[in-house]
Amino acid sequence: MNIVIVGAGKVGEALCRDLAHEKHDITLIEGSEDRLEQMIRIADITGIVGNGALYDIQSEAGVADCDIYIAVTPNDETNIIAAITARHLGARHSIARVRSPEYSLQMNFLRESLGISLMINPEYEAAREIARLLRFPAALHVNHFEHGRLNLVEYLLPPDAPFVGMKLRDLPREYTRLLIGALIREGRPAIPNGNTTLLAGDHLYLAGDDDLIAAFCQAAERRSVSIRRVLIVGGGRLTRYILDRLNHRHYQTKVIEVKPALADALAADYPEVEVICGDGTDQAFLREERMADYHTVIAATGVDEENMIVAISAARMGVPKTITKVNRTDLLKVLDNVGLQAIITPNRIVADQIIRYVRSLENSEGSAVVAYARLGDGALEAVQFHVSDSCKACHRPLSELAIRPGILLLAIQRGEQRITPGGGDRILPGDDVVVITGGLPLRDLDEILA
């Protein structure tokens, strides 16, 4: 497909890499010549220097006959104008990143009347993910499928867990309905089978009933972690979206924000929340605000390094769960060794969403991609397909299908009914199927067949 991307920020960079990797033809429009040259060196793309919202530049980039136009500059208005212009110029689909809550509210108007196909708000998506993480205290990461009905929970197996050294088929009987969809051991991904032995430090991807996952994590931790008190450092947009999603009767929430004006506005908008004005990176101040009493600390300031410091000091003070917002993914590799737990990268979430959207467009005839998530730094993928009538894998029992190695059928959703796939189950048209794969990117459900 022909794809035009405007803006070579972090999201733009991730999109260029991934979409080029999936053999799309990409044209990047970027204001800075140096940055563009840098991008051309990293990814197999072509580019134009200029303002992507301008008619001239867009014409030059061939927007008129491109399939998808993606505007991810830092500026909301530029993105919106660029996406509208592109649609009128002839692009078949246009995607805009829009951060401001005000524009998000008129999302429907922008989509229907002005033709922007998809508007994505990184902070909003990050907040949704954080809210899911609070539901699974032990989780490092929660991916959701089937419109939130199936959660794929990333969980780090602690060294003292009773399951360490056990083969999967020897797991206690109550966990038979629990699916371990994938595991990552020492950075290498694998799709486990009954003979796989669990080791300490494995990153497990658990799917199944939410209560069952929670029970498994609790048994592994040997204690029950229930989150009641939440401390959020930083009072920006992300924090507002998180607060919108928290049930304030259940959580006792405190927000620390350094700018008095922002803190005042937060306190005015969220009367149930304790808003503190002060420097959240100051250790003495955090002690005075009794950080150690909280069950969860969410580091959500605008600066990655500050967030890391906050999370590390929270872990030192004995806070059971920390959630850290980090935008620069190259910092993440350093982090794994200093005991940071859940990490949220809004830009990666946005890139994932756009890629999911691109894939679903790509395969409009076959089974469409409904949801998509990268696991463990992109080494594995979990994809949800909506099964079409023409799917070749339909109607036959799974045991008769020649499924390629390295592919796991995680779940089949038929209406309200969820099926944990066994040899006798069949895929029917209209089902939603979640698949985990370690190999090539999947575009159609048919590709799971050898």
Name the residues that contact other proteins, by CB under 8 A.
229, 231, 252, 254, 287-288, 290, 293-294
| Residue 17 or 295 having the CB closest to other proteins | 295
| Residue 178 or 291 having the CB closest to other proteins | 291
Q: How far is the CB of 70 from other proteins (least distance, A)?
A: 43
| Residue 218 or 252 having the CB closest to other proteins | 252
Q: How far is the CB of 273 from other proteins (least distance, A)?
A: 12
| Residue 24 or 254 having the CB closest to other proteins | 254
Q: How far is the CB of 38 from other proteins (least distance, A)?
A: 46
| Residue 239 or 329 having the CB closest to other proteins | 239
Cα 250 to chain centroid distance, Å, stands at: 25
| Residue 228 or 333 having the CB closest to other proteins | 228
| Residue 96 or 275 having the CB closest to other proteins | 275
| Residue 229 or 414 having the CB closest to other proteins | 229
Burial of 158 (0-12, 13-18, 19+ CB in 10 A): middle
Q: How far is the CB of 254 from other proteins (least distance, A)?
A: 6
Task: Calculate the alpha carbon distances from 38 to 2, 8, 16, 57 in Å.
Answer: 21, 10, 12, 20
Q: How far is the CB of 252 from other proteins (least distance, A)?
A: 6
Q: How far is the CB of 232 from other proteins (least distance, A)?
A: 12
| Residue 165 or 318 having the CB closest to other proteins | 318
What is d(CA 209, CA 214) in angstroms, rounded to the nearest whole number? 9
Q: How far is the CB of 128 from other proteins (least distance, A)?
A: 25
Q: How far is the CB of 229 from other proteins (least distance, A)?
A: 5
Q: How far is the CB of 132 from other proteins (least distance, A)?
A: 23
Q: How far is the CB of 295 from other proteins (least distance, A)?
A: 9
| Residue 107 or 277 having the CB closest to other proteins | 277
Q: How far is the CB of 58 from other proteins (least distance, A)?
A: 52
Radius of gyration of the chain (CA): 23
Alpha-carbon torsion (256, 260, 266, 268), positive or negative: positive
Joined tokens for residue 46 = 């072509």
Q: How far is the CB of 204 from other proteins (least distance, A)?
A: 31
Closest among 231, 252, 237 to 324, alpha carbons compared: 231
What is d(CA 118, CA 79) in angstroms, rounded to the nearest whole number? 12
| Residue 82 or 242 having the CB closest to other proteins | 242
Residue 91 near residue 103 (C-beta atoms within 8 A): no
| Residue 253 or 345 having the CB closest to other proteins | 253
